[in-house]
Amino acid sequence: MAETIAQADKLLTAEFMHQLDKLDVMSRKMLRGKTQGERRSKKKGQSVEFADYRSYVVGDDLRHIDWNLYARLDKLFLRLFMEEEDLSVSIVLDITKSMDFGEPNKLLYAKRVAAALGYIGLTHYNRVNLYTFADTITDMALGMRGRRPIPRMLKFLEGQQAIEGEHVSGNLASVCKRLAMIQRQPGVIILLSDFFDKGDMADALRYLGGDKHDVYTIQLLAPQEVDPAKGNILGDLRLRDIEDGDIAEVSVSPALLRRYKANLQAYCHHVREQCLKRGVAYMISETDVPFETLVLKYLRQRGLLG
């Protein structure tokens, strides 16, 4: 475990990991995993906790017959057990160039949130998958389960950098379509992004909506994006889109800043509405909110952690 703590120091402190040990990823839906884990199922299966008996029928596994009961009643009964199931937890991290912005930096903040969620999933024997994306899925670490892969998970996240390239912009619809093809096992999907995407948000979410997955979106914004005055943006400026290179010449005035704030608020409202229409949970946070508060308080309030 010493190796785990040493690698975690860049994203998670040992003290914070101790707090995370008390949490688990929750699903608003009953989602069935492929292997046995720590999550109780209402179905009966083969685990260590006895649930009930039923009469033997031809073809049943003879290993589950209760021979002591047979000796007393002269009838064959099968022992039934509470089945336990794992939960697939997929964390999807935006590494477009727009994420590498702000103080505190959005990408570093998102990586720390992803590390916390991944740590919680692994310590509770959920099946954890990590994905990063820009205009497509760029990297992945799949099928991690248990405490042993924690260093691998942290190393994966630490190594992620914003995608360079003037014309490498986000394409959330393409990413969600690809993710739906890869992620065939039902489970929880968590999208960490600023959602500064010029595509159709509704088109993107339709690939993940429905009953198969339990989807959470966490929109992260830098304080300087919410209030440009914090970034000392004033006067006549020539602005270049950090992702696709589009140029705009503007004169920054109090009236323009008010209009910008109104447009940003409207856009975030649009993202939220599209999420809710698809049954996707949505929350928004600025990166000056301590990420420990986001994880321990706000994600619990939203039902992602419990």
Q: Are residues 79 and 11 in the same domain?
A: no
Q: Are residues 188 and 78 in the same domain?
A: no
How do beta strands 137-144 and 127-133 pair?
A: antiparallel
Does residue 285 lie within any of the structural domains? yes
What pLDDT score does 236 carry?
64
Does residue 150 lie within any of the structural domains? yes
What pLDDT score does 51 carry?
58
Q: List the pLDDT tens digit at each of the 306 positions of the chain.
A: 444 444 445 899 999 999 999 898 988 765 555 554 555 554 455 555 555 667 877 767 777 788 888 888 888 887 766 445 578 999 999 999 999 999 999 999 999 999 999 999 999 889 999 999 999 999 999 999 999 999 999 999 999 999 876 656 778 999 999 999 998 888 999 999 999 988 888 899 999 877 889 999 999 999 999 998 776 676 666 767 666 667 777 777 888 889 989 999 999 999 999 999 999 999 999 999 999 999 999 999 999 998
CATH number, domain containing residue 203: 3.40.50.410
How far apart, in whole angstroms, are the C-alpha atoms of residue 235 and residue 250?
Answer: 8
Q: Are residues 134 and 269 in the same domain?
A: yes
What pLDDT score does 52 carry?
66
Does residue 57 lie within any of the structural domains? yes
Does residue 34 lie within any of the structural domains? no
How many structural domains comprise the chain?
2
Q: Are residues 178 and 213 in the same domain?
A: yes
Q: Are residues 51 and 125 in the same domain?
A: no
Domain that residue 48 falls in: 39-85
Adjacency order of strands within the sheet including 127-133: 137-144, 127-133, 88-94, 187-193, 213-221, 281-286
What pLDDT score does 2 carry?
44
How far apart, in whole angstroms, are the C-alpha atoms of residue 130 and residue 243?
Answer: 23
Q: Are residues 103 and 77 in the same domain?
A: no
Q: Are residues 176 and 256 in the same domain?
A: yes
Does residue 306 lie within any of the structural domains? no
Q: Are residues 101 and 218 in the same domain?
A: yes
How far apart, in whole angstroms, are the C-alpha atoms of residue 221 and residue 105?
Answer: 9
Q: Are residues 135 and 119 in the same domain?
A: yes
Q: Are residues 273 and 185 in the same domain?
A: yes
Does residue 164 lie within any of the structural domains? yes
Q: Are residues 98 and 150 in the same domain?
A: yes
Q: Are residues 75 and 144 in the same domain?
A: no
Does residue 131 lie within any of the structural domains? yes
